A and B are shown apart, each in its own frame.
Chain A
Amino acid sequence: MVKRESGLRKRRVSYEHEISACSIFGAMNTSGERFTGEGVIRAIANMHVRSNGLGGGFAIYGLYPEYKEYYALHIMVEGRNEESKKETDAFLNTNFDVVYDEEIPHAEQKQYSASIENPPLVWRYFAAPDKKGGDKIFSDDDYVVQKVMEINTKIKDAYVFSSGKNMGVFKGVGYPEDIAEYYLLDQLYKGYIWTAHGRFPTNTQGWWGGAHPFSMLDWTVVHNGEISSYGTNRRYLEMYGYHCTLQTDSEVMTYAVDLLMRRQQLPVSVVAKILAPPVWKSIEEKKDEKEKKLLRTLRMVYAPLLMNGPFTVIIAHHGVMIGLTDRIRLRPLTAGVKGEMLYLSSEEAAIRLASPQELDKVWTPDGGEPIIGQIE
C-alpha cells in the first residue's frame, strides 16, 4: 500500500546497491592468547591484487583489556568537522558515562602511504550507558545499538566504526596494509582474533565508513561477495527493524547475524545452515529423520535469510570466529591450523605466510560448511 501523507506519495526505495569483490583473512588463537598483527598484515598484503585501494580494514578482539567493562566506541568524523565532533561529544556525554577518550593514534603524514588521502578524525571513547527514564527498560546492548543508529543517522559527518567491548574496528580508504600502517596496528595492538579485509568495489566511492569490517556491538563481519538475494534479505530484515543504510551486502550479512545470533540466540552451527543451507536433494538424502526435519524446518522458516549468490564471510565475536561460504562455494575460502592458531583466508599462500611455522593442516571447506573457531 502506498501511503499518502499530507498529499505526498511514498516513493519507491531507490537505493544504490554497491558491488564489490575482496580479499579476506582471519586469525584466531583458540587459547585466547593475544598476538600482534604482524602476520595478519603480511597475509592481507600478500593478496594486494584482490583489492584496489578503495577500502581496507581490521577488527581486533581482546584489544582493550584495561577497559574491557566499557563499550569501546570507534567514531569517525568526516572532513575532521569540528562541529560534528562537538555534537558527538555532547551526545555521548548526555547518554553515556565516558570514562576515557582520545584520538586513535595514527602515523604522521609522509610516514604513511600517499594512497591514503584526507583521513578523517577517528576518535575512541570508553563508555558505560547512562540510561534515563524510559530508556531503562532496554538492555545495555539494545540501548547502545539505538544510540549508534542515532549517531549514524542524525549527526552529520559522524559515523560509528565499532561499538563492542574489548574490541575495535580500524578501517579506511586505501589498501589494507596501508591502513594498518596508518593506524600503527603492528606497533600498538595485540588481540586474540584479528580479521582483515581488502576491498575491490566496482564504483569509485571513497568513504571510510564503507570499508569493512562492519560491526554491530561485538559482532564484526568481513565479506567477499555479491549477494543476489539482497532484495529478499533486506526486505525481511526491515520487518525486524533493521534499516540498511550503507547499501552493501555486508551490512545485510551483519544484521542477519545480529538477528539470529544475538536476538534469537541461535547457535553458530544452526545459523550457518540458515545462511547457507544444504540443497533439498542432500536434505532428503539424510538418514537421520530428526536432522532432516530440522534442516527442512530451518529452510522453511528462514528462507528469506538464505544468502544466495557468491560469498565468503568471516564473522567474529568474543570467543568465536566463523568462516562460511555460500552453499555452492562461488567464492574462495581456505582454512589452516597450527597448534592453537586457526587461520581463514581467501588464499592459501597468505595463511602460509602468516604462520611462522609449518601448518598442521590446510583444507578447503565444502560450500556452506562453516569453519568454527572457539575459545577452548
Chain B
Amino acid sequence: MKSYLLPEFKIDREEERCIRCRVCERQCAFETQRYDGELERMFSDAEKCVGCQRCVIFCPANALSVSSNQFAYRLNYGWTRERISDLKKQAETGGIILAGCGNDKPYRIYFDHIVLNASQVTNPSIDPLREPMELRTFLGQKLDSLALELEPGSEFKDVEIKMELPPTVMIETPIVFSAMSYGAISYQAFKSLAIAASGYGTLFNTGEGGLPKDLRAKYWKNAIVQCASGRFGVDAEYFNCSTAVEIKIGQGAKPGIGGHLPAEKVSYSIAETRMIPEGSDAISPAPQHDIYSIEDLSTLIYALKEVTNYEKLVSVKIAAVHNSAAIASGMVRAGADIIALDGLRGGTGAAPKIVRDNVGIPIELAIASVDQRLREEGIRNRSSIIAAGGIRCSADVIKAIALGADAVYIGTAALVAMGCTLCQKCYTGRCSWGICTQDPYLAKRINPDIAARRLMNLLRGWSLEMKEMLGGMGINAIESLRGNRDHLRGVGLQEWELDVLGVKGAGE
C-alpha cells in the first residue's frame, strides 16, 4: 500500500562540508542515510528519520542538520497535523498506534505555575557554600514516637532506644532512578544506572525485568527490585538482592495497561534474567492476577515482607488517577512502606499512544491530594511518597517535595542525560543512542562508566541547585521543606487548582 504519510523531519546536508566518511550511515539505526558509491555521494531518506539527532552530533564535519519538516496541511485546530498523520497510519496498518516516552500533550504543567519563596530581611537566607545544607533523606515508615529510657541524672548519650525500629533506607539526595527494566533498556544503560546510583548514594529501580546475576553482588544495596504482573525473574534470592521491593500496579504512561516485550528482544541473557524461554514474548498482564482488591495487595505486601525477613521496604507503585488519594490511603493501611505515584507525564518504552496521551492525572495534583489525605487520616508517617512522571529539573524536585513528596523518581531525565533526545521511538527497539535497544551493535554505544558519570553529574548538578534554592528559603535541611507549602505560591491558576494543591496564589 502506498503510504500517504509525509516525512516528519527534514535532513539538510551541506555537500561542500560532507567528507563522505559514512559516519551518519553507521550511526543511524533507521537506515536513513545511505552512500552511493558510484556517485560518491550521501543520500538521505527523510521518511525514515525519527529526529533523534544522532547523525548530527556525530558528523565530524558538521555537515548535517535535521529539523522538523514544515509541511503544512491547511491549518486546523481540531484536525491537526498529528491527528491527520495518525489517521493515515491507522488506515495503512489497522493497528494500535504505539509510542514511547511520556505524554507530550499540552496539559497544564503545574510545576511551571508554582513559584518558590526566598528569605528577605526578617530571616536570613543561608549560603550553601559556607553552611551545611542537607539533602539526606530516609525512605520508609517513620514511627509516631520513640520509646526511650534514660536514667535520672545521666547524660544524653546514655539514652537507650527501647523499641525495635522499622527498616528505613537512607539516600544522599531525594532523587531516585525510576523503574526501567533490562529488556526495555539495554544492559549497558541498565548497568549505568546501577553504577551511578551506587556512586552517588541513591537507588535505581530494576523495573520488572529482573536483576542480572552479575550485578547483584555489587549493586544490591542500591536496588529497588520490582514485582510486576509478569513476575519476571522473581525468586527469593532476587527479592533479597535489594534494599526495597516494589509492587508495580500501574505506570503513569499507561495506567490500566500491561506490557509486552516482543520475542525478538528476548535474548539469551534477558531470558535468563527474566526466567523465561529465549525468544518468547514477555507479556505483563494489565492487572496483577492475584490482586483484585486491597486485601489481596496486603497479602502480597506481607508475602514479600516474609520472604525478605521484614528487612526490606515494600513499595507499591500506582499510576496517578482520579481516586489516588483514597487508593493511597488503602495502600498505606495495607502495609506499604513507600507509595510511588506516577503521573500523567511518566515515560515508557512502549504504550498505546491513545492511552499515553489521555489517561491519568498530573503528578503535582496527585502528590498534593495524597499527602493531604494521609495527613487528615494521621497516617502520613507510615509511608514515604515517591513522586514520578515529568520531573524535568531540580526546581520540579523542590516543588514536588514542598507539595508533600519524600523523594522523586526520574526516568526520562536520566535517559536524556545518557543521550536520549525524546524521539519517542523506544518501542521500535532501534535506539540509535544505545539506550532502548537489545541490538548489541547499538547497545555498545553506551559505555556504562561514561554514562554513569553523566548520570552522577546530573545528580550532582541538581543537588547543588536544590541547595541554593533551599538556602534562599532559609532552610538548611530538606526535611524542613517536606510538605511545606507555605514556600509555594501559584501563578495563573484557578481557585480549584490552588485548593487541590493547597497553596496560596502569588501575592496572597
**A residues near B126, Cβ cutoff 8 Å:** 328
B39 within 8 A of A: no
A270 within 8 A of B: yes
The answer on a CB contact under 8 Å between B146 and A228 is no
Say yes or no: B508 contacts A14, CB within 8 Å: yes
* Cross-chain contact A303 with B380 (CB below 8 angstroms): no
Residues from chain B with a CB closer than 8 A to the CB of A328 are 126, 131-132, 476
Q: For A11, what are the chain B residues with a Cβ–Cβ distance below 8 Å?
A: 499
- Map CB proximity to A onto B166-183 as digits: 1 under 8 Å, 0 otherwise: 001000000000000000
* A205 part of interface (Cβ distance < 8 Å): no
Contacts of B159 in A (CB 8 A): 267, 269-270, 294
Judge whether A293 and B122 touch: CB under 8 Å. Answer: no
Q: Hey, what's the 0/1 contact readout for B114-147 against A, CB within 8 Å counting as 1?
A: 0000010011101000011010101000110110
* Bound CA–CA A202/B123 (angstroms): 12
For residue B261, CB closer than 8 A to chain A, the reply is no
The answer to whether B122 and A202 touch across the interface, beta carbons within 8 angstroms, is yes
Q: Which of chain A's residues have a CB closer than 8 A to the CB of B402?
A: 231
* Given A232-B480, A270-B148, also A1-B474 (CB < 8 A): no
Is A101 in contact with chain B by the CB < 8 A criterion?
Answer: no
Contacts of B479 in A (CB 8 A): 232, 299, 303-304, 306
Contact B123 A12 (CB under 8 A): no
Cβ of A209 to closest chain B Cβ, rounded Å? 22
* Interface segment out of the listed A25-33, A56-64, A273-281: A273-281
**Also in contact, A230 and B146, with CB within 8 A (given A12-B503, A19-B122, A202-B122):** no
Question: Chain B residue with minimal CB distance to A302?
Answer: B146
Contact with A along B15-32 (1 / 0, CB 8 A): 000000000000000000
Binds A, one of B4-12, B344-352, B420-428, B482-490: B482-490
Q: In the complex the two chains form, what is the Cα distance from A232 to B381 in whole Å?
A: 13
Residue in contact with A2 in the complex, picked from B119, B160, B486, B499, CB distance below 8 Å: B499
| B502 contacts chain A at the CB level, 8 A cutoff | yes
Q: Among the interface residues B136, B369, B483, B484, which one has the most CB atoms of the partner chain A within 10 A?
A: B484
A308 touches which of B156, B480, B500 (Cβ 8 Å): B480
Query: What is the CB-to-nearest-CB distance from B497 to chain A, in angstroms, rounded to a whole number?
Result: 10
Contact (A293, B161) CB under 8 Å given A228-B119, A228-B473, A300-B138:
yes
Residue ID in chain B nearest A267 by CB atoms: B150
Question: Could you mark each residue 1-37 of chain A with 1 if its beta carbon is under 8 Å from any beta carbon of chain B, else 0?
Answer: 1100000011111100101110000000000000000
In the complex, the answer to whether A273 meets B156 with C-beta atoms within 8 Å is: yes
Q: How many residues of A contact B (CB 8 A)?
A: 53
A49 sits at the interface (CB 8 A): no
Most buried by A among B119, B373, B483: B483
A264 interfacial contact with B, CB 8 Å = yes
Tell me, in angstroms, the Cα distance from A279 to B375 when the chains sit together: 27
User: A2 near B369 (CB under 8 angstroms)?
Assistant: yes
- Known contacts A226-B122, A270-B156, A310-B123: A304-B500 contact under CB 8 Å: no
Residues on B with beta carbons closer than 8 Å to the beta carbon of A1 = 325-326, 369-370, 372-373, 376
Report chain A residues within 8 Å CB of B132. Answer: 279-281, 328
**Contact A297 B480, CB 8 Å, known A228-B119, A328-B131:** no
Q: For the complex, is B378 an interface residue (Cβ under 8 Å from A)? A: yes
B466-508: which residues lie under 8 A (CB-CB) from chain A?
473-477, 479-487, 496, 498-504, 508
Residues of B within 8 A of A231 (CB): 402, 483-487
- Closest CB of chain A to B158's CB: distance in Å? 8
Q: Which residue of B lies closest to A260 (CB)?
A: B145
Q: A288 near B: Cβ within 8 Å?
A: yes
B155 at interface, CB cutoff 8 A: yes
Q: Interface on A for B, CB 8 Å cutoff?
A: 1-2, 9-14, 17, 19-21, 202, 226, 228-232, 235-236, 238-240, 264, 266-267, 269-270, 273, 279-281, 288, 290-291, 293-294, 297-304, 306, 308-310, 327-328, 330
Additional 17 contacts, C-beta under 8 A, given A291-B157, A328-B132: A1-B373, A1-B376, A12-B501, A12-B502, A12-B504, A228-B475, A229-B484, A230-B484, A232-B484, A239-B375, A266-B148, A269-B155, A290-B157, A303-B142, A303-B479, A309-B480, A310-B474
Please list the residues of chain B having a beta carbon within 8 angstroms of any beta carbon in chain A. 119, 122-124, 126, 131-132, 134, 136, 138, 142-143, 145-146, 148, 150, 155-157, 159-161, 165, 168, 325-326, 369-370, 372-373, 375-376, 378, 380-381, 402, 473-477, 479-487, 496, 498-504, 508
Chosen A-B contacts, 29 in total, with CB atoms closer than 8 Å, are A1-B369, A1-B370, A1-B372, A9-B499, A12-B498, A12-B501, A202-B122, A228-B474, A230-B486, A231-B483, A231-B484, A231-B485, A232-B482, A235-B375, A239-B381, A267-B150, A269-B159, A270-B150, A279-B132, A279-B476, A297-B161, A300-B142, A301-B143, A301-B145, A301-B146, A304-B483, A309-B475, A310-B474, A328-B131
